[in-house]
């Protein structure tokens, strides 16, 4: 009888410990604005490396077509956090919606304006895009904002080109190769994949490097980040800290491992069949990733300046851009965190 009660007590204790561990893990849903895009690699890699689990989080990544769709998921309540471009935080501030970025993983946006291979003869410059069909990940996404900025910068009406949502991965490459669109704002690995088949691909604007980003924007321009509503960040500080720690650890891991080692950790379906092209794209992208996770205040100011130029609504809103981001959680991550990550 004593043995039976002993076994029962042991079983109950094990169940209690198991349920306690489950309760300790917060369930967080992160909406990703196009997981196949290398600009979002740190978020996907953090999941692959188990960094979210180590931080005490049960994170579900929901892969969506573009950043605007990921934003809608959070605003609609079906996701907690966006893994998307910081510029949405600035744009939404003009609409009196408070969003806060708490860890930045892209120092540069990595956006590339590319001409469709079948339309290189008639499109030689950005000015030639007036009246043309230009692909973006999704209308209202950062790719769309970038296009409108370039059109305005080149003396055109920001709405002079017809915007077509084509996603960021294979669908965007197919739309370009089949001539369904005249040009597109793309990101790697799609740009490198397209270049692999079309060596004479015409690129009208490129922000994959520091040099090109500085030339276009006049300063660093933050791209991918984790952000959520100010209300959620304020009421979930423990979870926000855990997410930040996981991303900072992942950035440290990225910059201490080879492109081949990084590729080996990524999901097979994201790498695709042509590993050589994916690896080439990854090598192009790695310098884009932040080493610290911190927001550069000048970079945030640059985003506001760009949007103020292209959007009268943003220009008139008197936005305090410092309220759209915080380095508080990155600053709390120990300097040695992630150095021993395997």
Work out the pLDDT band at 330, boundaries 50, 70, 90: very high
Work out the pLDDT band at 34, boundaries 50, 70, 90: confident
CATH code of residue 328: 3.40.190.10
CA–CA separation, 173 vs 189, rounded Å?
10
* Runs of H (alpha helix) within 95-184: 142-153, 170-177
The neighbour count for residue 288, using CB atoms within 10 Å, is: 24
pLDDT tens-digit readout, 141-185: 889 989 999 999 999 999 999 999 998 888 999 999 999 999 999
Q: Which residues pair with 28 in a beta bridge?
A: 59
> Is the whole-model pTM more than 0.85?
no
Residue 139 lies in a domain: yes
The rounded percent of the chain whose pLDDT value lies above 70 is: 90
User: What's the mean pLDDT in 190-194?
Assistant: 91
Which of 148, 177, 207 is a domain's end point?
Answer: 207
Which of 183, 207, 231 is a domain's end point?
Answer: 207
User: What's the mean pLDDT in 252-267?
Assistant: 97
Say if residues 50 and 18 touch (Cβ distance below 8 Å). Answer: no
Give the domain extent around 158. 111-207
Same domain, 154 and 190: yes
Residue 273 lies in a domain: yes
Q: Which residues pair with 185 in a beta bridge?
A: 113
pLDDT tens-digit readout, 105-130: 999 999 999 999 999 999 999 999 99
Same domain, 177 and 231: no
pLDDT value of position 291: 94
Q: Is the pLDDT of residue 250 over 50?
A: yes
Q: Is the pLDDT of residue 13 over 70?
A: no
Work out the pLDDT band at 305, boundaries 50, 70, 90: confident
Same domain, 189 and 317: no
pLDDT value of position 67: 80
Same domain, 100 and 120: no
The neighbour count for residue 15, using CB atoms within 10 Å, is: 10
Tokens of 242: 């855990």
Query: Number of folded domains in the chain?
Result: 2
Residue 151 lies in a domain: yes
Judged on CB neighbours under 10 Å (0-12, 13-18, 19+), 29 is middle
CA–CA separation, 110 vs 293, rounded Å?
17
Backbone angles phi, psi at 62, to 5 degrees: -110, 115
Residue 168 lies in a domain: yes
Owner of token pair 């891991």: 253
The rounded percent of the chain whose pLDDT value lies above 90 is: 71
Same domain, 49 and 122: no
Same domain, 323 and 188: no
What is the CA angle 59-63-66, rounded to 5? 130
Residue 16 lies in a domain: no
Residue 5 lies in a domain: no
pLDDT tens-digit readout, 71-87: 999 999 999 999 999 99
Judged on CB neighbours under 10 Å (0-12, 13-18, 19+), 12 is exposed
User: What's the mean pLDDT in 36-47?
Assistant: 95
User: What's the mean pLDDT in 130-145?
Assistant: 91
Same domain, 302 and 234: yes
pLDDT value of position 335: 58
Same domain, 239 and 326: yes
pLDDT value of position 218: 82
Same domain, 42 and 58: yes
Same domain, 83 and 227: yes
CA end-to-end span of the chain: 48
Q: Is the pLDDT of residue 8 over 90?
A: no
Q: Is the pLDDT of residue 133 over 90?
A: yes
Same domain, 61 and 91: yes
Same domain, 250 and 189: no
Tokens of 136: 């973006």
Which of 158, 181, 207 is a domain's end point?
Answer: 207
What is the overall mean pLDDT for the chain? 89
Residue 212 lies in a domain: no
User: What's the mean pLDDT in 7-23?
Assistant: 42
User: What's the mean pLDDT in 92-99?
Assistant: 94
Residue 129 lies in a domain: yes
Q: What is the DSSP letter of 239?
A: H
């Amino acid at each position: 009888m004593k043995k039976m009660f002993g076994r029962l007590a042991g079983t109950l204790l094990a169940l209690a410990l198991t349920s306690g561990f489950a309760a300790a893990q917060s369930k967080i849903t992160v909406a990703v604005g196009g997981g196949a895009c290398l600009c979002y690699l740190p978020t996907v890699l953090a999941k692959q490396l188990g960094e979210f689990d180590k931080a005490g989080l049960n994170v579900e990544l929901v892969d969506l077509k573009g950043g605007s769709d990921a934003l809608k998921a959070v605003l609609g309540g079906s996701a907690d956090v966006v893994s998307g471009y910081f510029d949405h935080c600035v744009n939404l501030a003009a609409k009196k919606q408070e969003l806060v970025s708490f860890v930045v993983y892209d120092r540069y946006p990595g956006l590339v304006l590319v001409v469709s291979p079948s339309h290189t003869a008639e499109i030689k410059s950005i000015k030639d895009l007036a009246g043309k069909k230009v692909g973006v990940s999704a209308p209202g996404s950062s790719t769309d904002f970038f296009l409108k900025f370039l059109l305005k910068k080149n003396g055109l009406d920001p709405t002079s080109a017809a915007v077509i949502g084509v996603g960021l991965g294979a669908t965007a490459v197919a739309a370009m190769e089949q001539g369904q669109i005249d040009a597109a704002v793309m990101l790697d690995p799609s740009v490198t994949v397209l270049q692999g088949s079309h060596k004479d691909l015409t690129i009208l604007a490129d922000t994959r490097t520091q040099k090109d980003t500085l030339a276009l924007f006049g300063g660093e321009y933050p791209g991918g980040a984790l952000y959520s509503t100010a209300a959620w960040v304020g009421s979930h500080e423990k979870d926000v800290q855990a997410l930040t720690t996981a991303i900072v650890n992942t950035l440290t891991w990225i910059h201490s491992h080879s492109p081949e080692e990084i590729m080996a950790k990524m999901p097979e379906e994201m790498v695709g069949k042509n590993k050589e092209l994916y690896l080439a794209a990854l090598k192009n992208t790695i310098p884009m990733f932040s080493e610290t996770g911190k927001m550069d205040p000048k970079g945030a100011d640059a985003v506001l300046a760009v949007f103020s130029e292209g959007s009268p609504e943003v220009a008139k809103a008197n936005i305090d851009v410092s309220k759209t981001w915080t380095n508080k959680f990155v600053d709390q991550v120990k300097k040695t965190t992630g150095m021993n990550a395997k």
